[in-house]
Amino acid sequence: MGLNLRDILIALPGCEKVDMCFSCGTCVSRCPIQQKVEPAYNPRRLLKMIALNLREDAFSSPTAYLCSECDLCYKACPQEIHISAILTGTKKIALESGFSSPLKTAKVDAQTCVGCGFCEKVCPYHAITLKETNVPFRGKNMLIAEVDGGKCMACGTCSVICRSNSIELQARENSEEVVNSLWTWLENTEVSAEK
């Protein structure tokens, strides 16, 4: 019988305190994802799945994929649990085990992408890279944006910045207004957290 999920995670840097959560809820009280993007987002549920070794449930949960890795939860946690490291570790193990992100992702239209790289520069999750691709319509190889579905969390930043309107989100509501609202909330939260 192999190692359980908790034991695998504990071996990863930053995940040592995976079993120290006592479900106080402080993490979600500071979380921009829970506050502005997905009200049902709750890392405590995922930590419980890990403790119970519910691999399939943990690997198919959107929680690990939604984490923005801002670490506001880590700063607030009385147990000093590095939640983003645990969520990132869970996502990594899930992807290595053949699971894919349950979230919808950004999709690039290779026929209209001009390869400017703006999307790659602004992506907070480093999910976009420029890749030389044969574009039949244009009859040549070009640098085209490519999205890594394992890293993309469909935040909408790339589609807002895309000057050729080549990036479409296949997800829930994601507009310039939502992105701006999230950034404003995060800036105000960081200021108040430092006081």
DSSP, residue by residue, 23-60: ---HHHHS-HIIIII-TT--HHHHHHHHHTT-HHHHHH
| Residues of the chain under the 50 pLDDT cut | 1, 172-174, 191-195
**Beta-bridge partner residues of 114:** none
Q: Say which CATH topology domain 106-174 has.
A: Alpha-Beta Plaits (3.30.70)
Q: Say which CATH topology domain 5-101 has.
A: Fumarate Reductase Iron-sulfur Protein; Chain B, domain 2 (1.10.1060)
Inter-axis angle of helices 43-51 and 83-96, nearest 10: 60
Is 5-101's fold the same as 106-174's? Answer: no
**Domain ranges within the chain, ordered by starting residue:** 5-101, 106-174
Determine the pLDDT at residue 119: 95
